[in-house]
Amino acid sequence: MFRLAVKSVKHNPKRLVLTAVAVALGVALASATFTLTNALSGGFHQLFDEIYAGTDVIVEPAPTETEDDGDQFAAPDAVFTHADLAAVQAVDGVENAVGTIQVMGSVLPKDFEPTGDLMAAGGAPSQLFNWAGDPKLDQATLVEGSGPEADGQIVLDLDGAPRLGYEIGDMVSIATDTGVTELELVGLVRFGETNSLQGATLGYMTEADAATLAGSEDYQTISVVTADGVDKDQVASAISEVIPEGTRAITGEAKAAEQAEQLDDILQYVDIFAIAFALIALFVGSYIIVNTFRIIVTQRTREFGLLRAIGVSGRQLRTMILLEALVIAVVASTVGILLGYLGALGLSALVEALSGNIFGTVTLPWDALLWGYSLGALVTLVAALMPAIHASTISPMEALRESATESKKPLRMRNIVGGALTLLGVLAIVVGLYMDVAKPYVFVGAGAMVLVIGVTLLAAQVLVPLAYGLKAFLTRVFRVDGKLAANNIRREPRRSANTAAALMIGVMLLALVSTFTESLKSVVTDQFATSEADFFVLSTQGAIPPGAIDLLGSEDGVDFVTSTGVDQATYDGLGYSVASIDPATADLAYDYPNDPDFDGMDGGVFIDPVIQELGVEVGDQVALEGAEGSATLTVTGLYEREGDANFWVDEATGAELFGDYDILQAMVVLDDGVDPAAAEEQLTSALAEDFPLVVLSSPDQLAQFANQFIDLLLGVISAMLGAALIIAVLGVANTLLLSVTERTREIGLLRAVGVRRRSVRRMIRIESLVMAIFGTILGMILGVGLGVALVKALAEFGFTSVAIPWAWLGIYMVLAIIAGVVAAMSPARRAAKLDILQAIAFDG
């Protein structure tokens, strides 16, 4: 059987090429992502290994459960005093121990001019430390000039300095919380062996300078070099005895592994994300596979009948077709995996050229092979199953029939199943969106899948009357070509529906995402429009320095500045976010969804829907525990939007819980009658000297920026869906190619009775357009419908209005028409080229 399957694939590979391409594209998507995340992981593993290479033991604050470990570059709080360092140095087996001060700051490019442009002021973070002078502990080797031996000096890494425009002898500007400091560049260092810093800038200064800039003489970590021959783990546990509570000693190796593991956890989400999109692409691809195998089974009905006649059992026939599918799956997956690998190589080379080497060696990881082959094989086999079962029921008598056409089964069964699935899908989505179920996304996801299949089945029924209806129209416009095209669509409603459905899914997802993002944009725009604030204050690097807030508040023309800090506190054993605001001014600057106004807070706390659902009510007492202290507060009001912060307290309570908490956002309200444009210039230049990284942005600008970001998101998702859409268009071409082959005799006959080549081509093109437009319209209806349902379900998160992305829908329609024409090109050419005599003599 296997030989027969291989023979048959080899005998007529053309009809399987597009099917294989569809599978390969989906697999390539997964393979490329796996390769990239693997390389990225490798790069970071290498980085972490190098960071901790010279350090035998690290003494650092112990990680807490609620701590947000997303930011690998943030400096931890300084907790080790000089006395702690001395205690560590005194531990047996410690050869050398050095305290590290990391400065929260940013090396500004040479001649930096603050522009207020959020994008331009960003960039890779800076890592600034005190210089130990020991290459093992610094993990950096001096390659040029000298180390920072005297106060007022700095060294930078050999890539960072030229990138920012500095040469040895220049004064380097460093922006911190408290202002801009200038240090003289005296040398260049190389980090580890290859200076692979993932784009960050590295700098070292004297301990005194570092302490001044950091605002504390305490150390964040202590790096320990152990004496030769001692057990590092033992030294680590000995050190644990002498360090303050809440801190720990861990070997460098363990620390590197821990960090790498955290990063791998994040990368795993990227992989899952990619698998999701690969699955979408392959799901679309599966429609093509179903169609291809259906058509092939139809075309080979006589061949299968013959095999049955000479003693092949139905089961063997089924196995044979599934084997054929497997052969295609293996070939296509191999191509896809290689394609993905090459794509990843290209992409990493591109990234390296643009922004430095952040990838380790790009190799093809096992996951890529594993997922590639299993996704490819699974989808192909599942899709080929129905046609294979159909083939196994072919009776031997079919071999003796004259022509091979799909039997004219009525669509009733299909409609019943389709209707049931559609209902089921809608039901699951409604349950997921509106009922309180544990995992709503599972319901919505599964529901959407079932709905799509249901609609695909029903679409065959819709197509029949549509084709009848179009027939009159097409006949009037295109005469015979139009009539024949309409007939063909009606003749194979299943096939046409499946083909259109592949496109439908792609368009549906696009329409869904664009409905969602369009609504998000309108919500964001609305929110900023209702704001009373004249400017939003943002920092491009970390928190907003309190000095900047004070400075803005003291400027002429400024009525007041209100700021918001967000921190984590423990309530009832779990971590929650707490926003600290000024109740007197917050409501004047921004239209918060609170009840009553914040000035009714009265030293108490407002709670958001999440906390309300825990059963907490106005008048109750809640006990919050922050990093610096705890407070028991009376609930005095409600905050009615989910997702901003769980608890809202005033500044005094915030200070009590968190000490000097970080300010993440601030708003400036100007005096009446002050011209905002003039004020912006005045305030920006006031900030420029000491706080160059703090930017002002009007609500309009911010809305625009947010909208740009949302558009970017839409762009990324659309690009990821691109593979699915390409596959869908291939699907249209594939179906047409196969049906041209199937209709070879008929087309020959048409040509024989005088139909011109041009007409044949047009007939195919009309068929293609009808399927493409039909699929696109269905997809839009479904996508917008699901998008609206989703937005409504997210009302709690502040989605107050639904916006339909008309402009995008128009663009999708134009693209669909183009796709229809493109997909018809090759089949139309093939049909028109057919030699009349050969076509008539053509056998199966």
Q: Which of 400, 716, 795, 811 binds other proteins (CB under 8 A)?
A: 400
3-state secondary structure 750-771: HHHCCCCHHHHHHHHHHHHHHH
Does the footprint of other proteins cover residue 397 (CB under 8 A)? yes
Give whichever of 198 and 316 is closer to other proteins, judged by the CB atom.
316
Alpha-carbon span 797 to 802, nearest angstrom: 13
Q: Locate 67 and state its tokens.
A: 């701590």
Does the footprint of other proteins cover residue 609 (CB under 8 A)? no
E-strand stretches of 210-253:
221-226, 247-251
Please report, as residue ranges, which positions from 314 to 333 form the binding site for other proteins (by CB under 8 A).
314-316
Which range, of 100-108, 304-312, 553-561, 575-583, touches other proteins by CB under 8 A?
304-312
Is residue 502 within a helix (H) or strand (E), and if so which, with residue range?
helix 493-529
Could you report how far apart the first and last alpha carbons of the chain are, in Å? 21
Minimum distance from residue 745 beta carbon to other proteins (Å) = 14
Does the footprint of other proteins cover residue 10 (CB under 8 A)? yes
Does the footprint of other proteins cover residue 82 (CB under 8 A)? no
* Beta bridge pairs of residue 141: 190
Q: What is the DSSP letter of 795?
A: G
Give whichever of 11 and 439 is closer to other proteins, judged by the CB atom.
11
On the CB side of 265, CA atoms within 13 Å amount to 8
CB atoms within 10 A of CB 827: 24
The answer to whether 359 touches 36, Cβ cutoff 8 Å, is: yes
Minimum distance from residue 843 beta carbon to other proteins (Å) = 7
Q: Which of 109, 215, 356, 396 binds other proteins (CB under 8 A)?
A: 396
* Beta bridge pairs of residue 220: none
E-strand stretches of 448-603:
535-539, 558-571, 574-581, 594-595
CB atoms within 10 A of CB 165: 12
Give whichever of 324 and 587 is closer to other proteins, judged by the CB atom.
324
Residue 118: closest CA among 814, 632, 702? 702
Does the footprint of other proteins cover residue 302 (CB under 8 A)? yes
Residues with Cβ < 8 Å from 520, sequence gap 6 or more? 710, 799
The answer to whether 536 touches 699, Cβ cutoff 8 Å, is: yes
Q: Which of 310, 353, 354, 677 binds other proteins (CB under 8 A)?
A: 310
Does the footprint of other proteins cover residue 14 (CB under 8 A)? no
Q: How many residues bind other proteins (CB under 8 A)?
A: 27
Q: Which of 369, 399, 430, 588 binds other proteins (CB under 8 A)?
A: 399
Which range, of 7-15, 249-257, 514-522, 698-706, touches other proteins by CB under 8 A?
7-15
Give whichever of 400 and 652 is closer to other proteins, judged by the CB atom.
400
What Rg do the C-alpha atoms of the chain give, in angstroms?
Answer: 33
Does the footprint of other proteins cover residue 408 (CB under 8 A)? no
Minimum distance from residue 308 beta carbon to other proteins (Å) = 7
Q: Which of 233, 303, 599, 640 binds other proteins (CB under 8 A)?
A: 303
Give whichever of 3 and 408 is closer to other proteins, judged by the CB atom.
3
Minimum distance from residue 318 beta carbon to other proteins (Å) = 13
Q: Which of 308, 414, 761, 830 binds other proteins (CB under 8 A)?
A: 308
Cis peptide upstream of residue 596 (ω within 30 degrees of 0): yes
Q: Which of 79, 108, 279, 312 binds other proteins (CB under 8 A)?
A: 312
Q: Which of 307, 339, 505, 537 binds other proteins (CB under 8 A)?
A: 307
Q: Which of 8, 33, 221, 298 binds other proteins (CB under 8 A)?
A: 8
* Beta bridge pairs of residue 142: 189
Give whichever of 90 and 400 is closer to other proteins, judged by the CB atom.
400
Print burial letters for 776-799: b (CB count within 10 Å at least 16), e (below 16): bbbbbebbbbbbbbbbebbeeebb
Which range, of 33-41, 90-98, 298-306, 587-595, touches other proteins by CB under 8 A?
298-306
Minimum distance from residue 19 beta carbon to other proteins (Å) = 17
Which range, of 77-85, 362-370, 396-404, 797-805, touches other proteins by CB under 8 A?
396-404
Q: Which of 306, 385, 449, 840 binds other proteins (CB under 8 A)?
A: 306
The answer to whether 452 touches 505, Cβ cutoff 8 Å, is: yes
Alpha-carbon span 709 to 703, nearest angstrom: 10
Q: Which of 17, 230, 257, 309 binds other proteins (CB under 8 A)?
A: 309
Residues with Cβ < 8 Å from 708, sequence gap 6 or more? none
Give whichever of 325 and 579 is closer to other proteins, judged by the CB atom.
325
Does the footprint of other proteins cover residue 794 (CB under 8 A)? no
The percent helix, strand, coil of the chain (3-state, each to 5) is 60, 15, 25
Contacting positions for other proteins (CB under 8 A)? 3-4, 7-8, 10-12, 302-303, 306-316, 395-397, 399-400, 843-844
